[in-house]
Structure 1
Amino acid sequence: MEGGYNILRSSFANKGTAFDQDERKKYGLRGLLPPRTETIVEQAERALAQFTSFQSNLEKYIFLNCLRDRNETLFFYLLVNNLELMMPIVYTPTVGEACQKFGNEFRFAQGMYFSSQDKGQFREMLDNWPHKEVDIIVVSDGSRILGLGDLGTNGMGIPVGKLQLYVAGAGFHPSRTLPVIIDAGVNTKKYLDDKFYLGEKHARLSDPEYYALMEEFLVAVYNKWPKVLVQFEDISNDHCFTLLENYRNRFLCFNDDIQGTGSVILAGFINAVRATQIPLKDHRMVFFGAGSAGIGVADCIVSLMEEQGMTKEEARKRFWFVDSKGLITTNRGDELAEHKKAYARTDYTTQLKSLLEVVKDVKPTALVGLSGIGRSFTQEIVEEMSKNVEKPIVFSLSNPTSNAECTAEQAYQWSEGRCIFASGSPFAPVEYRGHTFVPGQGNNMYIFPGLGLGAFLCQSLRVTDEMINTAAKTLASNVDDAEVITGKIYPGLSKIREISVQIATNVIEKAFEQGIATIQRPENIEQFVRK
């Protein structure tokens, strides 16, 4: 196969019916396409009609991935111009189902895979990637995909989807993005027994073997692409904190589940505090779920409290964390994971075993769910909370939708329309007592595209907590006082590219302020970002 036929089989070069007559003659395409030449607008109109004709979200997901495989330019044109419609398909919640069925629905390879059988060859393998330059990598080991658990190599849908949003939300060039799965095994019996599972069929590696694999991968990556930004994604709690701690000061990297989630929920919380008109220092926050996301959110709120004059110790006393064994305390008798210790309460002699008991005892102003346990915010819990605060903050953040702690409709009804609500997955507007409530979605996409773009463009030495807080404040400022009063705490996602410009600009400013940007300071940082 030569010439034009190869062009039509290249997702990067193919324009399909958009090739004009001169191009068809030049590239040997005459006779290989229908006679009519179309604009990309016309192509997108047809693609959108095809997209909407599918009944299930999984079918729509597969259609979009196949479209990207044959015409990447058209795919991203369609995504950018229909982002609010398609984001729940290319990412949460549909990507969760796509990952669960990854082996069954596999059609073509995307990204790169590195497994224990390849140890010692990672740097050589990177040379197989067809694109010379890579600006950003999203890497997962598949061990904690959304709230769905250990999916192993089936988790590839997460790095793929995340990078599609980096392109749509912040203008990264698609050919300079690389999705990666580190195959360290899988502990889910379903996949070990599944004939269509495409990863290595063995239990997850021991810690020493696992960390050696990650070390080889990161050293190889930064040897080949010294300026690349690496984002860790959906890695289980027993490894994600250690990886971040080990590498955040060695390489330009961050963990979106810890830092991105923390930043976007901090932005929502800043606006929720504006809505309640209760000073930040006076809020009492109960968190249900003490994994990477929960601790990441709390750490971001604590850092904001520190900026406002509280000590770290004073700030942490405003948090009560509940896990599967109840309220996390220093004396409940079990060995706490390292990441939980900073928030373990020291002031309880009686053990509180349930979330309801904690809510009754603490009388929280804010209830934050990152547990992965669907419907765990019961009517009794929300009603109990609403007795003690005029505008209760209810953040039901677990993904996908089936894992949400409560629905938007439940939260508004049980709080008699008084709550400030946000969720991780999208919910439709709710009609209640003559009012229409538009639920906020604490979607990481508000933060990570702009944060990543800013950190990469200024070639920052690292991603700092101050840069992450700057991103949160920038996002929060995109909702005005009139909107906050009505309970709206996030802007519309249709503004995402403009929000990303603002976040990237302010993140770069912060990097220069901290002395960690390594490029020459642009005369106009915002123009530099827009370009």
Structure 2
Amino acid sequence: PAQGCHSKPGPARPVPLKKRGYDVTRNPHLNKGMAFTLEERLQLGIHGLIPPCFLSQDVQLLRIMRYYERQQSDLDKYIILMTLQDRNEKLFYRVLTSDVEKFMPIVYTPTVGLACQHYGLTFRRPRGLFITIHDKGHLATMLNSWPEDNIKAVVVTDGERILGLGDLGCYGMGIPVGKLALYTACGGVNPQQCLPVLLDVGTNNEELLRDPLYIGLKHQRVRGKAYDDLLDEFMQAVTDKFGINCLIQFEDFANANAFRLLNKYRNKYCMFNDDIQGRSHLNHEKEMFAQDHPEVNSLEEVVRLVKPTAIIGVAAIAGAFTEQILRDMASFHERPIIFALSNPTSKAECTAEKCYRVTEGRGIFASGSPFKSVTLEDGKTFIPGQGNNAYVFPGVALGVIAGGIRHIPDEIFLLTAEQIAQEVSEQHLSQGRLYPPLSTIRDVSLRIAIKVLDYAYKHNLASYYPEPKDKEAFVRSLVYTPDYDSFTLDSYTWPKEAMNVQTV
């Protein structure tokens, strides 16, 4: 039987449909595969284009799961799911929401990083909008090419800092696609209201420039005024086309641009960047916390001198937290905080097993990508917390869309963090969890969205009025469901006497 967090099946709502025939079976928003009823097949002109079999969505889920489990590698599993997304969108999200904890590491970190590295091989059909530096001056026209007009959320990257993998250029499109899949699977945002965008300004990755399978522009990255002009035009074109309330999330931009672009646009557009992190030099936001200190030669020496309460890894240097560092942290503090947040898993500063073993279970551990539970020699089992921003952005996005918020202040992220903390029980903490189980992420995102919506109306940030009296019911009404729609025509008759045929 299907498990999970999607709404219970009910009567399918009838949806008016202008498309007919072959186009219906090739449109992922409309296609139901063998779940089309005979009446729908006859009325839509697709009878004979589908095998003469009628399946429920539960059986379709079972078929996908059996095929999925036969795959040997995570990359093959990723390709299976992305192919399903291109074929039957409702079933794709039914699969994801049936077990978010199982599928999130496949459609997003860590597997999406591997998929981006091999994007030239895994590319099946275009998904999202590819905009290049050579299209400058024509971005409004390009946005008109997108088939959906009611876009509420855009995720955009220039591919320069994809996870911890560096400059992947046009191969970085897998990140906006995966991020928006989580908007829907974790937050309930309607996928037809989402647009993934890749801004291709070139790549400095010499390996890609030599790769005959590379799908992007083959020249060094364009920087300076031309780059900034492209971004300015893009932001203006998106808001002109989709409205000032359209949410724009910046994703995996290089550190040199991340803060700069955030500060440039945050008060003018509805935008945010959820993964700004450290760089090789201190940006001005961090200078107030810097202290003078004699130069040291290694991280181990820094830890011995500073005796920090917490160490946070975001530099994508695998194994940076050595056993010596972990032993020192355990000797300094009863409960040392060890956050190995670099993505994907191969770039993590240390593993969960290593942290718990060296600190004898006293380490408070979180990682950016998932690790399996760890059982120590004394029999105690720990479930590592995944410090992934997937707990944040789906709920924030749903709340922003629900209220038509035009600017996103930092306070929204603070109240989101507080809500996530409230979701963690004493039992979770005793298991080593710092975050609620991923299996509950849809419920967590819903409560975050309600908090964001409430905050927006209290602080005059919302633009949709009248203010909903029951905010929970209002947000729930916006949540996307993977249940199939009905495409049967609205059929009825008049009274017999009203249909009499007049004769001469």
Partner of residue 249 from structure 1, selected from 267, 292, 297: 267
Q: What letter is aligned with 2:228?
A: Y
Distance in 2, matches of 1:221 and 1:3, equals 31
Matches within 5 A, 1:482-497: 482-497=427-442
Q: RMSD of the TM alignment (CA)? A: 1.4
CA distance, structure 2, for counterparts of residue 196 and residue 10 of structure 1: 27
User: Number of matched residues?
Assistant: 456
* SS in structure 1 at match of 2:272: strand
Partners of 1:232 and 1:406 in 2: how far apart?
Answer: 28
Partner of 1:230: 248
**Given the alignment, which residue of 141, 144, 150 partners 2:167?**
150
**Aligned counterpart, 1:463:** 408
What secondary structure sits across from 2:462 in the alignment?
Answer: coil
Task: Give SS of 1:387's match.
Answer: helix
Q: 1:361 and 1:485 mapped to 2: Cα distance?
A: 31
| Contact persistence 1:114–1:181 (CA under 8 A) | yes
In the alignment, does 2:462 pair up with 1:523?
A: no
Is the Cα–Cα contact under 8 Å of residues 241 and 339 in structure 1 kept in the other structure? Answer: no
Q: Which amino acid aligns with 1:366?
A: A
2:290 aligned residue (326, 337, 344)? 344
1:419 partnered with 2:363: yes
2:132 to 115, 120, 124: 115
Alignment-derived partner of residue 386 in structure 1:
330
Show the counterpart of 1:358: 302
**Offset of 1:512 from its aligned partner?**
2.3
For 1:522, the aligned partner's letter is P
Tell me which of 271, 275, 278 is aligned to 1:290: 278
Equivalent position amino acid for 1:109 in 2: P
**Could you tell which deviates more after superposition, 163-172 or 487-496?**
487-496
Paired letter, 1:290? G
Amino acid at match of 1:376: A
Corresponding residue to 1:94 among 111, 120, 123:
111
Alignment of structure 1 residues 152-301 onto 2, 5 Å: 152-226=169-243, 227-258=245-276, 290-291=278-279
Shift of 1:515: 2.2
Q: 1:104 Cα shift?
A: 2.3
Deviation string, structure 1 residues 377-427 (Cα, Å, up to 9, x no partner): 000001011101101111111000010000000000110111111111100
Equivalent residue in structure 2 for 1:85, among 90, 102, 108: 102
What is the correspondence of 1:5-154 to structure 2 with a 5 Å cutoff? 5-154=22-171
1:228 positional shift: 0.9
Q: Which amino acid aligns with 1:244?
A: L
Distance in 1 (alpha carbons) for counterparts of 2:299 and 2:273:
28
Q: 1:375 maps to what in 2?
A: 319
Contact 2:149/2:242, CA 8 A, preserved across alignment: no
Point out the more displaced range, 208-217 or 2-11: 2-11
Where 2:366 maps in the other structure, the secondary structure is strand
Q: Which amino acid aligns with 2:303?
A: V
452, 469, 488: which one aligns with 1:507: 452
User: SS where residue 257 of structure 1 aligns?
Assistant: coil
Deviation at 1:443, TM superposition (A): 1.3
Show the 5 A alignment for 1:313-332.
none
User: Per-residue CA shift, 1:222-257, capped at 9, x if unaligned?
Assistant: 000112100000000000111100011001110011
What letter is aligned with 1:523? K
Post-superposition CA distance 1:317-347 (Å, at most 9, x none): xxxxxx5xxxx7xxxxxxx55455343223x
1:332 corresponding residue in structure 2:
none
Rounded Cα–Cα distance in structure 2 between residues aligned with 1:459 and 1:352: 50
Cα drift, residue 212 of structure 1: 0.8
1:388-403 pair list within 5 angstroms: 388-403=332-347
1:110 shift after superposition: 0.4
- Aligned equivalents of 1:447, 1:249: Cα separation in 2: 20
Partner of 2:499: none
Which one-letter code corresponds to 2:24 in the other structure?
I
C-alpha contact 1:156 1:179 (8 A) present in aligned 2:
yes
Question: Is 1:435 aligned to 2:380, yes or no?
Answer: yes
1:315 corresponds in structure 2 to none
8 Å Cα contact 2:255/2:278 also seen in 1 = no
Q: Which consecutive unaligned segments of at least 5 residues does structure 2 have?
A: 1-18, 478-504
Identity value in percent: 45
Q: Answer whether contact 1:290 1:340 (CA < 8 A) is retained.
A: no
Query: One-letter code of the match for 1:525?
Result: K
Q: Give the TM-score, by structure 1 length.
A: 0.84
Where 1:231 maps in the other structure, the secondary structure is strand
Deviations 1:118-162 (A, max 9, x none): 110000111100012101000000000000000001000000000
Residue 417 of structure 2 is aligned to residue 472 of structure 1: yes
Given that 1:138 and 1:159 are in contact with CA atoms closer than 8 Å, whether structure 2 keeps it comes out as yes
1:466–1:510 Cα contact (<8 Å) kept: no
* 8 Å CA contact retained: 1:422, 1:441: yes
Q: Is the 8 A contact 1:185 1:202 kept in 2?
A: yes
1: CA distance between counterparts of 2:265 and 2:30? 37
Q: Rg larger in 1 or in 2?
A: 2
Residue-by-residue CA offset, 1:57-90 (whole Å, 9 max, x unaligned): 1111111111111111111111111211111110
**Amino acid in the other structure paired with 2:289:** Y
The one-letter amino acid of 2:443's match is E
Q: What is the letter of the counterpart of residue 176 of structure 1?
A: Q
Distance, in Å, in 1 between the alignment partners of 2:284 and 2:336 is: 30
- Counterpart CA distance in 2 for 1:162 and 1:235 is 14
Which TM-score applies when normalising by structure 2? 0.88
- For 1:422, the aligned partner's letter is A
Matches of 1:105 and 1:438, distance apart in 2: 33
SS in 1 for 2:151: coil
**CA contact 1:153–1:198 (8 Å) conserved in 2:** yes
